[in-house]
Structure 1
Amino acid sequence: MTKYTKEIKLAIYHEWIDDDRRGAYLSRKYGMRPGEIAYMVALLQRHGEGILDRPQQKYTCDFKLAAIDRVLLGGEALRQVSLDLGLTNHGILANWLRSFK
């Protein structure tokens, strides 16, 4: 996903929440895939706007393995685990899974 500023992410979020705009409209307007928009909105709803202020994260091997275990052994959905952990993109966990196998 292209790097978007905090202001653009918040504009997308508020259009989704306040103006009841949805994926297809916002996708055309901002050039972001509808799934990415839906994930970002869910992330902001769960963790609040402060999640956008976090610096880029470095994750430990133990953290990654615990996340992978939740998906592979616990049967949790990849997207759900990514949201729970506050990962900025569900693709991060997907990449960890690919490198683990």
Structure 2
Amino acid sequence: MSKLTREDKIKIYERRKKGETIPSLAKNFDVQESNIKYLVDLIEKHGYDILRKDKNRTYSKDFKLQIINRILISQESINSVALDIGLVSPGILHNWLSKFKENGYNVVEKKKGRKPKSMTKPKKNDK
């Protein structure tokens, strides 16, 4: 599966609106049909501005918890919530949920930057 550029996503949306089938678009762009359908629905709901041009978006711990609760407590579907809040992919929400469950039902914020290097240097073998 190839990574789509912003221009590819716009092309897919416009070709779909002209009547091209989802299976044909999926084959042409080497993307799963479910991804095409999600992309079309996303642009339909939020417009082209939802297709980011900048860096990855970051979300606060509180926001993630609110969204996770919509799924676990309100029983909303992952796809509908992801579409509603404008996530680029519902997979992001799947990741949030699995990390949430992994960490004892706590939202853990991802640390920014590189992991610190070990303070001790590995010993070189003397020969």
Q: What residue is the counterpart of 1:98 in the other structure?
A: 98
- Distance across 2 between alignment mates of 1:10 and 1:42: 12
- Following superposition, the deviation at residue 3 of structure 1 comes to 2.7
Gap runs ≥5 in structure 2:
102-127
Work out the percentage of aligned pairs sharing the same amino acid: 38
- Distance across 1 between alignment mates of 2:53 and 2:7: 14
- Following superposition, the deviation at residue 90 of structure 1 comes to 0.3
Is residue 2:47 matched to residue 1:48?
A: yes
TM-score (norm 2): 0.75
Q: What residue is the counterpart of 2:111 in the other structure?
A: none
- Following superposition, the deviation at residue 52 of structure 1 comes to 1.1
Q: For the Cα contact (< 8 Å) 2:78–2:94, is it kept in 1?
A: yes
Is residue 2:60 matched to residue 1:60?
A: yes
Structure of greater Rg: 2
SS in structure 1 of the partner of residue 57 of structure 2:
coil
Structure number having the greater helix percentage: 1
Aligned residue pairs: how many?
A: 100
- Distance across 1 between alignment mates of 2:93 and 2:50: 17
Q: How does 1:17-36 map to 2 (within 5 A)?
A: 17-18=17-18, 20-36=19-35
TM-score (norm 1): 0.93
- Following superposition, the deviation at residue 6 of structure 1 comes to 1.1
- Distance across 2 between alignment mates of 1:84 and 1:90: 11
- Distance across 1 between alignment mates of 2:29 and 2:2: 11
Structure 1's consecutive aligned runs of 4 or more residues displaced over 3 angstroms after TM superposition are none
